[in-house]
């Protein structure tokens, strides 16, 4: 490979990595989604079956 190809590959890799990190900034809280018939239990960080 030539130097030009290596530098282009490096630039594109850095650009995509930087864009990926920038897209994820600002997230402070995530939402847990459970299957039907279950609810999220924050104490155990799992989905529990609803009884009743």
pLDDT at position 29 is 67
pLDDT at position 16 is 75
pLDDT at position 2 is 92
pLDDT digits (tens, 9 = 90+) for 1-52: 699 998 888 887 877 776 666 656 565 666 768 899 999 888 988 899 988 6
User: Cα–Cα distances in Å, from 24 out to 20, 27, 44?
Assistant: 7, 6, 26
DSSP letter for each residue of the chain: --HHHHHHHHHHHHHHHHHHHHHTTT---------TTEEEETTTTEEEE---
User: Cα–Cα distances in Å, from 13 out to 4, 22, 28, 48?
Assistant: 14, 14, 27, 42
pLDDT at position 51 is 82
pLDDT at position 24 is 61
């Amino acid at each position: 490979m030539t130097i030009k190809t290596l530098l282009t590959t490096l630039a594109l890799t850095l650009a995509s990595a930087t864009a990926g990190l920038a897209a994820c900034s600002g997230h402070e809280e995530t939402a847990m989604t459970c299957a039907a018939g279950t609810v999220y239990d924050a104490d155990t960080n799992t989905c529990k079956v609803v009884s009743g």
